[in-house]
C-alpha cells in the first residue's frame, strides 16, 4: 500500500532521532516530507526520558507535576510545535471545522512520551499544546497502521453484522442486576 494512501485527510508523523540528524518523516495527503529538528538529540532525549520517568513516579506530588510540565514543554519546543506548524495546524480549529488527526509513530524512547500532551498547559494562550490543535492517535509502525486500515476496509458494515446478546438479571448466589432488561431493550 502506498504511504500517502494511508493518510486520507490526516497526517502520519514518524520520528527519527539519531546522532547524525533528527527528522520526523511527515506523510501528507499528497506527498512525503521531513523536517530537521536540530534541538532533539539522542543525549537530550535520554535525559528527558529519565526526567519523564522520575516525574511519573512522583506524579502525585507538586514536584512531579512541575517536572512533567517541564518535559511536556521541552517536547513541544524541540519537536511538536515545529511539526504542527509545518502541517499548517497553527491554531485551535473553529467550532464548525473538522479537527485534523495526526498518527504519531514513535521510535526508541519517543514511544513512551505522551506526544498528545506536549505543550504549555499553564499558559493562558490557546494553541500552545498539541491537544489545542489536533486529535492524536498512535501506531507502533506504519505497517501496523496499514494492516489496521486494510482490516477495516474488509469489515462488513455494522448494519450487516449480527450479535448475540446474553443477559442474566438473576444469577444464583449473586446480587440481581436491575438494568439488564432495559439495556437489552435499548440494544435491540
Q: Per-residue pLDDT averaged across 148-157, rounded? A: 78
Distances (CA, A) of 158 to 128, 145, 155, 184: 38, 21, 9, 18
Q: Residue 2 — pLDDT band, cuts 50, 70, 90?
A: low
Q: Per-residue pLDDT averaged across 111-135, rounded? A: 90
Q: What is the pLDDT of residues 32-44, one digit of tens each?
A: 899 999 899 999 9
pLDDT at position 1: 45
Q: Per-residue pLDDT averaged across 128-151, rounded? A: 90
Q: Residue 75 — pLDDT band, cuts 50, 70, 90?
A: very high
- Which CATH fold would you assign to the domain 3-151? Nucleotidyltransferase; domain 5 (3.30.420)
pLDDT over 90 percentage in the chain: 52
Residue that the C-alpha cell 507502533 belongs to: 140
Q: Residue 182 — pLDDT band, cuts 50, 70, 90?
A: confident
What rounded mean pLDDT belongs to the chain? 88
Domain boundaries, the chain: 3-151, 157-187
Rounded to whole angstroms, the Cα distance separating 33 from 18 reads 17
DSSP-derived letter for residue 97 is S
Amino acid at each position: 500500500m502506498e504511504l500517502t494512501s494511508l493518510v486520507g485527510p490526516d497526517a502520519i508523523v514518524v520520528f527519527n532521532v539519531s546522532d547524525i540528524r533528527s527528522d520526523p518523516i511527515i506523510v501528507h495527503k499528497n506527498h512525503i516530507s521531513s523536517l530537521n529538528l536540530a534541538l532533539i538529540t539522542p543525549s537530550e532525549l535520554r535525559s528527558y526520558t529519565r526526567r519523564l520517568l522520575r516525574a511519573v513516579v512522583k506524579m502525585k506530588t507538586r514536584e512531579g507535576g512541575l517536572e512533567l510540565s517541564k518535559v511536556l514543554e521541552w517536547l513541544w519546543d524541540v519537536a511538536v510545535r515545529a511539526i504542527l506548524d509545518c502541517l499548517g495546524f497553527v491554531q485551535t480549529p473553529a467550532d464548525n471545522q473538522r479537527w485534523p488527526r495526526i498518527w504519531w509513530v514513535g521510535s526508541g524512547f519517543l514511544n513512551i512520551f505522551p506526544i498528545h500532551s506536549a505543550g504549555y498547559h499553564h499558559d493562558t494562550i490557546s494553541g500552545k499544546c498539541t491537544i489545542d490543535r489536533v486529535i492524536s492517535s498512535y501506531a507502533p509502525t506504519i505497517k501496523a497502521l496499514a494492516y489496521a486500515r486494510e482490516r477495516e476496509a474488509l469489515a462488513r458494515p455494522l448494519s450487516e453484522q449480527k450479535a448475540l446478546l446474553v443477559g442474566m438479571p438473576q444469577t444464583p448466589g449473586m446480587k440481581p442486576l436491575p438494568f439488564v432488561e432495559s439495556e437489552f431493550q435499548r440494544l435491540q
